[in-house]
A and B are shown apart, each in its own frame.
Chain A
Amino acid sequence: MAQAAAVAKPPAPPRRRRASATPRRLPYLLIGPAALLMLGFIAYPVISVFYYSLQEYNPTKPWRNGFAGFDNFVKIFTEDPVFWDTLVFSAKWVFVEVGLQLLFGLALALIVNQTFVGRGIGRAMVFSPWAVSGVLTSAIWVLLYNSQTGVTRYLADMGIGSYGTSWLSDTSTVFSAAVVADLWRGVPFFAILILADLQSVSKDLYEAAEVDGASRLKQFWHITLPHLKDAIILSTLLRAVWEFNNVDLLYTLTGGGPAGETTTLPLYIANTSVDAHDFGYASALTTVAFVILLFCSIVYLRLSKFGGENK
């Protein structure tokens, strides 16, 4: 932009000189710190993950360390049933979480976008879980799900659920319990993103539609939804990646249990590296996770035809 401006207005030497004191180097100087940090702490680790994935690498068994070729990958796909279980659970988790968050988040955003008495405080309250961390969410829901003193006990009094067992330690309830806990925090976040975009819908469109006698449902379908399309596509994708990658909540809420019932692929990777110190195998798993994530993202963007119209 600066260059364009400078080229367009050559007969203004004083301004040009001042405006571009060090025009060539300045942008590089400015992005320098960010670029260096990202090269050192994202790009380099990513490359080393690929490198480790071809190694046998376990600090507790140094005598076995060394180049392993594709052994780790062969092991993943042929003799590791846990990998497939975690993959299936990851897909289920992301699909259910993001789907419900989109649904409830959209509804919530539409509601608090209306003008009504107490909107400010209402917004603040329904959005408040946004600020709560994964670990804190876990802490709160551990209290709620406690079999002796939790809300679940009072629900059992009303005939919902049963006494004695925590919803988090029962294989039949743990999935729903974890989903609800994550929804509590995830819906407000989604709603904020959608609300931000809702604010930019031109109100003239609605007025015109009103004059033409379009019902509210039709207005939503033909005005609101098309306008939100790009925001929904992008936030759904980001959210899906985030839900897939995030381990804070499940790590602290269920620890992946009971019986590995709630172990996502990233959680399995974290356990493999942190607890089992099997860095080579964990790196191979990470590589596979990368590829899956990349593939799903590309397919999703293609299917939704995103980026076609707005360069």
Chain B
Amino acid sequence: MITKEAPAAAPAPAPVAPAAARPGKKRPAWDEVPRWQIYLPLGIYLVFTLIPFYWILLFALRPTGSTSLVPWPMTTEHFEKVWTDRGFGTYFTNSVYVGLATLVMTTLVALAGGYALARFDFRIKRGFMLALLCSQFVPGALLLVPLFEIFAGLQMINSLGSVIIAETVFQLPLSIILISNFIKNVPYSLEEAAWVDGCGRFRAFRIVVLPLLRPGLIAVGSFAFVHSWNHFLFALMFLNNQSKQTIPVGLNSLMSADSVDLGALAAGGIVAAVPVVIVFAFIQKWLITGFSAGAVKG
């Protein structure tokens, strides 16, 4: 702005302008940090972040026995082997199924619960919220034995349903807290206005509140998907049949094989990462807002 004004004025005060411009530009403190203090540490951290990714790409793409540090000539042999011989095609389908089912269940159940917490006062409300908070401290891994017994009793061992239920349950507390915070941010008067206009409670919710909740629902849903996609122990415990296994279990079996096939392991890792990376790329911008809207502030 100031530089635009400078040529308009007489050329004489030009040397004064930068001097005056600097403090003006410097004013916002968050903008004042010297560039190298941003780029240098960020660069170093980027190297630390990206080398592992490069390494796994390298192993997945270069032929067996190659020691080149560039994945060239490229080969798809590892992917073909992992996808067909090691059953990752099946694991992938199972994981997609588990992930989407968990996403849908978590979002629906948490939406109902979150709405109740945000909009009503009822007798067990405090108790329920306390239970949500406490359940954050309950380690799913330590409940494996009783959970196994429950699913055995329900005849659900070796069915993906067991994993879907377990993943949903352990996603619920945080999801409910998140969604209720999102709903609290939608003014109640909007809903009331819709009732006056003749909408039922459900219709008012669907027309007025739901569209405003979209970023929140995307955040919650993608968390549920990513978590169930990544989680390992429930699938390991409740699914004994290989045709029912999920991707993380497949990866683990590649690692614990007698002689680790590094190419296959890398290719399997990339297969495991791709859906999550895609989800991540889409939700990136909602993620931060999603969190700041209430994740930590329950």
Contacts and interface: CB of A to CB of B under 8 A. Distances in A.
Interface of A: 1-5, 15, 18-19, 21, 23, 26-35, 37-38, 40-46, 48-49, 52, 104, 107-108, 111-116, 122-136, 138-144, 146, 149-151, 184, 188, 192-193, 195-197, 199-200, 203, 206-207, 209-210, 216, 219, 230-231, 234-235, 238, 241, 244-248, 251-252, 255, 266, 269-270, 273-274, 279, 282-283, 286, 289-290, 293-294, 297
A244 B151 CA distance: 26
B258 interface: no
B7 to A, nearest CB: 25
A34 B110 contact: yes
Given A140-B269, A142-B265, A279 B56 contact: no
Given A125-B50, A141-B52, A192-B287, A41 B150 contact: yes
A184 B52 contact: yes
Contacts of A132: 230, 273, 276
A115 B31 contact: yes
B147 interface: yes
A30 to B, nearest CB: 4
B121 A2 contact: yes
A108 B248 CA distance: 29
Contacts of A4: 121
Interface string B225-259: 01001111100010000000000100110111000
Given A44-B150, A126-B46, A241-B136, A283 B55 contact: no
Contact of A42 (B27, B169, B231, B295): B169
Interface of B: 27-33, 35, 38-39, 41-42, 45-46, 48-53, 55-56, 59, 67, 109-110, 112-113, 115-122, 124-125, 128, 131, 135-147, 149-150, 165-166, 168-170, 172-173, 176, 188, 192, 195-196, 200-201, 226, 229-233, 237, 248, 251-252, 254-256, 260, 262, 265-266, 268-269, 272-273, 276-277, 279-281, 284, 287-289, 291-292, 295-297
17 contacts: A1-B118, A31-B112, A35-B113, A41-B166, A42-B138, A111-B41, A140-B53, A143-B59, A144-B52, A184-B49, A196-B292, A210-B29, A216-B32, A230-B296, A231-B297, A290-B142, A293-B137
Contacts of A238: 136
Contacts of A48: 146, 149
Contacts of A294: 137
A122 B32 CA distance: 19
Given A116-B35, A116-B39, A129 B49 contact: yes
Contacts of B140: 245
Contacts of B260: 142
Given A1-B119, A115-B31, A269 B135 contact: no
Contact of A45 (B52, B67, B109, B147): B147
Given A1-B119, A15-B196, A108-B45, A114 B142 contact: no
A210 B27 contact: yes
A286 B41 CA distance: 41
B14 to A, nearest CB: 27
Contacts of B120: 1-3, 23, 26-27, 30
B42 A122 contact: yes
B29 A133 contact: no
A123 B49 CA distance: 11
A126 B49 contact: yes
Contacts of A108: 45
Given A129-B49, A216-B33, A286-B142, A136 B67 contact: no
B283 to A, nearest CB: 10
A31 B128 contact: yes
A127 B285 CA distance: 12
A131 to B, nearest CB: 4
Contact of A113 (B30, B52, B131, B149): B30
Nearest to A138: B255
A113 to B, nearest CB: 7
Nearest to A232: B296
A199 to B, nearest CB: 5
B80 to A, nearest CB: 18
A34 B150 contact: no
A209 B252 contact: no
Contacts of B38: 111, 114, 116
Given A38-B169, A116-B39, A207-B27, A45 B146 contact: yes
B103 to A, nearest CB: 15
Contacts of A209: 29
Nearest to B108: A33
A49 B113 contact: no
Contact of A33 (B113, B188, B295): B113
Given A38-B169, A139-B266, A196-B295, 10 more contacts: A1-B120, A18-B195, A41-B169, A114-B30, A133-B231, A133-B248, A133-B276, A139-B265, A143-B262, A279-B145
A170 to B, nearest CB: 17
A31 B232 contact: no
A223 to B, nearest CB: 9
